[in-house]
């Protein structure tokens, strides 16, 4: 009796991998979290007088929720452009370690740099969390198109939410807008926990949860950057020490 | 019309560029890194710690209307969502919905 192949990597084309990623996005809670989050963001943009097209363009170009919230509220409040640029940049430091810990999963020795531009641009918390979970079982040559499909699908979800939110804007009660803002920490915490495999993952999660608000409360400059470097290095160091003792 | 154009120029200069620089820097740094390397392991821990910091900051020092919900309710909702995730076969959906329900009921009880 011929055994049925579980996967047929070489036959599946890049297009099929892209579509698989595009479809996988809608099985993830992140697609719905993005819709909700961008309903809230669009209501904010509407209140500050930005057009729906401007919001859509910012989602394509910036593709980072917290940075977009800062951009809309600071520009809308008339802050100096240079201050806005610095605030946006500080809020997006997390993208650096995320890209560094995603690209080695998808590239091959012969991968051209320009083929990594789109996956790097699509890297955001939602896509990073789900890519780390879904990519490892896939054959390497399918990972770039899969990641692109996943990221673009999430971006589509955000645009759908943005469209809804823009028209709902004036009728969004404060309770609902608070609930939409709460989607981000709730879903990020659970999804990150689900991805924790190694001791260093767990320790980094706990150290970050403690250090983040503590450093912000003490008004340490670049609080998130330090949270990452101190919390992440401690977690990695302890993990390595334990491994060495075995 | 020039106001509209101005908004798009600002979007690129103070939104897109200062944000994208981190991704491009990541692209350059990741070039020589492979999945088995120690640096990759460290970067993964740093990314998780930053993300955890972002999560905790939103709950403890929340933006906008979420700040109107008392801290006890926010923390209670996060805890309930987390427990629901663990209890219901590690379902992310169950956890998020449970957390949201607790937050909304708590805020309603508080009178928001």
SS3 at position A113? coil
Counting residues of chain B whose pLDDT is more than 70, the rounded percentage is 98
Domain extents in chain B: 64-112
Instruction: Closest CB to A100: pick one of B29, B51, B54.
Output: B29
Looking at the structure, do residues A152 and A63 belong to the same domain, yes or no? yes
Cα B31 to Cα A202: distance, rounded to the nearest angstrom: 27
Average pLDDT across chain A, whole number: 92
Looking at the structure, do residues A27 and A128 belong to the same domain, yes or no? yes
Looking at the structure, do residues A218 and A231 belong to the same domain, yes or no? yes
Q: Decide if A1 is inside a domain.
A: no
Summarize the confidence of residues A163-189 as an average pLDDT.
Answer: 91
Looking at the structure, do residues A81 and A155 belong to the same domain, yes or no? yes
- Strands, E assignment, B8-71: none
Summarize the confidence of residues A58-83 as an average pLDDT.
Answer: 93
Looking at the structure, do residues A140 and A216 belong to the same domain, yes or no? no
The total of structural domains in chain A comes to: 2
Measure in Å the smallest separation between the Cα of A155 and chain B Cα atoms.
15
Cα A98 to Cα B48: distance, rounded to the nearest angstrom: 8
Summarize the confidence of residues A58-81 as an average pLDDT.
Answer: 93
Query: Which residues from A are below 8 Å from B61, CB to CB?
Result: 213, 216-217
Chain A interface mutation, best of B13, B26, B30, B49, highest count of A Cβ atoms under 10 Å = B49
Summarize the confidence of residues A190-213 as an average pLDDT.
Answer: 96
The pLDDT tens digits for A220-236 are: 888 888 999 999 999 99
Instruction: Closest CB to B27: pick one of A116, A175, A181.
Output: A116
Counting residues of chain A whose pLDDT is more than 70, the rounded percentage is 95
ipTM of the complex: 0.92
pTM (2 d.p.): 0.90
Looking at the structure, do residues A21 and A141 belong to the same domain, yes or no? yes
Range of the domain at A210: 196-246
Cα A180 to Cα B47: distance, rounded to the nearest angstrom: 24
Contact A100 B33 (CB under 8 A): yes
Measure in Å the smallest separation between the Cα of A95 and chain B Cα atoms.
6
Looking at the structure, do residues A27 and A104 belong to the same domain, yes or no? yes
The pLDDT tens digits for A23-41 are: 999 999 999 999 999 999 9
Summarize the confidence of residues A205-226 as an average pLDDT.
Answer: 91
Interface of B with A in 29-88 (CB under 8 A): 29-31, 33-35, 37, 39-66, 68-69, 74, 77-78, 81-82, 85
Q: Of A156, A177, A194, which closes a domain?
A: A194
Q: Is the pLDDT of residue A3 over 70?
A: no
Q: Helix axis angle, A52-61 relative to A65-76, nearest 10°?
A: 140
Q: What is the pLDDT of residue A7?
A: 52
Q: What is the pLDDT of residue B35?
A: 86
Q: Is the pLDDT of residue A219 over 90?
A: no
Q: What is the pLDDT of residue A121?
A: 98
Q: Which residue of B has its CA nearest to A214?
A: B57
The pLDDT tens digits for A115-159 are: 999 999 999 999 999 999 999 999 999 999 999 999 999 999 999
Q: Is the pLDDT of residue B1 over 50?
A: no
Q: What is the pLDDT of residue B75?
A: 97
Measure in Å the smallest separation between the Cα of A234 and chain B Cα atoms.
9
Q: Is the pLDDT of residue A9 over 90?
A: no
Query: Which residues from B are below 8 Å from A85, CB to CB?
Result: 13-14, 17-18
Q: Decide if A9 is inside a domain.
A: no
Q: Is the pLDDT of residue A80 over 80?
A: yes
Q: What is the pLDDT of residue A197?
A: 92
3-state secondary structure chain A: CCCCCCCCCCCCCHHHHHHHHHHHHHHCHHHHHHHHHHHHHHHHHHHCCCCHHHHHHHHHHCCCHHHHHHHHHHHHCCCCHHHHHHHHHHHCCCHHHHHHHHHHHHCCCCCCCHHHHHHHHHCCHHHHHHHHHHCCCCCHHHHHHHHHHHHHHHHHHHHHHHHHHHHHHHHCCHHHHHHHHHHHHHHHHHHHHHHCCCHHHHHHHHHHHHHHHHHHHCCCCCHHHHHHHHHHHHHHHHHHHHHHHC
Looking at the structure, do residues A56 and A160 belong to the same domain, yes or no? yes
A186 and B12 Cβ atoms separated by less than 8 Å: no
Looking at the structure, do residues A165 and A79 belong to the same domain, yes or no? yes
Average pLDDT across chain B, whole number: 93
Looking at the structure, do residues A53 and A69 belong to the same domain, yes or no? yes
Query: Which residues from B are below 8 Å from A54, CB to CB?
Result: 4, 7-8, 11
Q: Which range in A218-232, B61-75, B77-91 is most confidently predicted, on average pLDDT?
A: B77-91
Measure in Å the smallest separation between the Cα of A1 and chain B Cα atoms.
36
Looking at the structure, do residues A183 and A200 belong to the same domain, yes or no? no
Q: What is the pLDDT of residue A71?
A: 94
Contact A205 B48 (CB under 8 A): yes
Looking at the structure, do residues A188 and A200 belong to the same domain, yes or no? no
Query: Which residues from B are below 8 Å from A48, CB to CB?
Result: none
Measure in Å the smallest separation between the Cα of A28 and chain B Cα atoms.
9
Q: Decide if A3 is inside a domain.
A: no
């Amino acid at each position: 009796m011929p055994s049925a192949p579980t996967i047929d990597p070489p036959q599946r084309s890049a297009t099929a991998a892209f579509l698989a990623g595009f479809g996988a996005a809608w099985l993830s809670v992140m697609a719905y979290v993005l819709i909700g989050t961008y309903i809230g963001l669009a209501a904010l943009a509407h209140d500050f007088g930005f057009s729906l097209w401007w919001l859509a363009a910012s989602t394509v170009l910036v593709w980072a929720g917290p940075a977009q919230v800062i951009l809309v509220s600071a520009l809308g409040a008339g802050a100096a452009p240079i201050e806005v640029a610095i605030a946006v940049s500080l809020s997006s430091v997390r993208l650096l370690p995320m890209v560094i810990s995603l690209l080695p999963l998808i590239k091959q020795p012969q991968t051209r740099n320009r083929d990594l531009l789109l996956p790097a641009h699509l890297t955001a918390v939602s896509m990073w969390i789900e890519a780390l979970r879904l990519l490892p079982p896939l054959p390497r040559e399918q990972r770039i198109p899969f990641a692109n499909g996943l990221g673009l699908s999430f971006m589509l979800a955000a645009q759908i939410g943005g469209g809804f939110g823009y028209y709902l804007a004036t009728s969004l009660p404060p309770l609902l807008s608070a609930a939409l803002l709460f989607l981000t920490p709730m879903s990020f915490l659970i999804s990150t926990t689900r991805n924790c495999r190694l001791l260093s993952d767990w320790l980094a999660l706990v150290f970050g949860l403690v250090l983040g608000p503590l450093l912000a409360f003490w008004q340490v400059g670049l609080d998130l950057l330090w949270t990452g470097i101190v919390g992440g290095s401690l977690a990695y160091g302890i993990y390595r020490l334990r491994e060495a003792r075995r | 019309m020039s106001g509209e154009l101005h908004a798009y120029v600002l979007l690129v200069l103070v939104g897109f560029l200062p944000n994208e620089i981190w991704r491009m820097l990541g692209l350059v740094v990741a070039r020589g890194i492979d999945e088995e390397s120690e640096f990759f392991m460290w970067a993964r821990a740093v990314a998780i710690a930053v993300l955890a910091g972002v999560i905790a900051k939103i709950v403890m020092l929340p933006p906008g209307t979420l700040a109107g919900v008392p801290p006890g309710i926010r923390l209670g909702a996060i805890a309930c969502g987390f427990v629901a995730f663990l209890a219901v076969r590690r379902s992310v959906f169950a956890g998020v919905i449970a957390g949201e329900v607790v937050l909304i009921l708590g805020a309603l009880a508080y009178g928001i």
